[in-house]
Homo-oligomer: A and B are copies of this chain.
């Protein structure tokens, strides 16, 4: 029983990787850098995007929103006049807990790839499965809110390891929490030594400039790589 189940999962991941490669080829051809943006529910992904998507000099941004159901986050971002496309994962059974490459593939015809340089894919809020499914992205970023406690890197290590950048958010709440920021950063280092990190508060604006600069740098880096 268990062995059969694992085999099915591995086949699903193989098929996913094949489709992710096709997505990646389409994005490369269009010259679009793709960020897979992940976190637990309510860590602040949408707010962190609201703070930067309309103010990236020289970088035209589009957003692909993944949610089990609804379009609340897409509506928030569309009000900033950036192109937003919604994927709902709720069809099928109770709702998929992650985006996979085929869901993203189905959205590609709806994406204005010729009009953007950077596509940010806001994944379903979940610290487990989104890290397991490539979608054709160039880079993975996660948000780790200090309100979730210091132990999350040790409990969900794959997510922290899969990402090139960890944003430690909600630091304005630290004075009111029994959470030691250094301990959280230490635990991040335990599972992904020297991973780049930015400490932010979407409320006070601390770290937002660094987050904006990071996105601009990633868009230029991928452009330089594409130019060879």
A residues apposed to B, CB below 8 Å = 1-2, 5-6, 8-10, 12-13, 40-42, 67-70, 72, 92-97, 102, 124-129, 131-132, 145, 147-149, 151-152, 154-158, 170, 172-173, 176-178, 203
Complex copy number for this chain: 2
For the complex formed, measure the closest distance between the CB of A193 and the CB atoms of chain B, giving whole angstroms. 18
- How far apart are the CA atoms of A149 and B145 in the complex, in Å? 12
CB distance from A73 to the nearest CB of B (A): 8
Cα distance A13–B161 in the bound complex, in angstroms: 30
Given contacts A5-B12, A72-B155, A173-B173, 9 further A-B contacts (CB under 8 A): A8-B8, A68-B156, A69-B157, A70-B154, A96-B128, A97-B97, A97-B128, A125-B156, A129-B129
Contact A102 B42 (CB under 8 A): no
Q: Indicate if the CB atoms of B9 and A92 lie closer than 8 Å.
A: yes
Q: Are A5 and B70 in contact (CB under 8 A)?
A: no
**Among A8, A9, A128, A151, residue most surrounded by chain B Cβ atoms (within 10 Å):** A128
Nearest Cβ distance between residue A70 and chain B, in whole angstroms?
A: 6
Contacts of A41 in B (CB 8 A): 40, 127, 148, 152, 155-156
Cα distance A95–B41 in the bound complex, in angstroms: 18
Say how far A55's CB is from chain B's closest CB, in angstroms: 21
In Å, the complex CA distance between A157 and B70 comes to 10
A40 touches B94 (CB 8 A): no
- Is there contact, CB below 8 Å, between A147 and B127? no
12 cross-chain CB contacts under 8 A? A10-B93, A41-B156, A42-B145, A68-B155, A70-B155, A94-B158, A95-B156, A97-B129, A126-B127, A147-B170, A173-B173, A173-B177
- Asked if A155 and B9 sit within 8 Å, CB to CB, the answer is no
- CB pair B172–A131 under 8 Å, yes or no, is no
Q: Are B97 and A126 in contact (CB under 8 A)?
A: yes
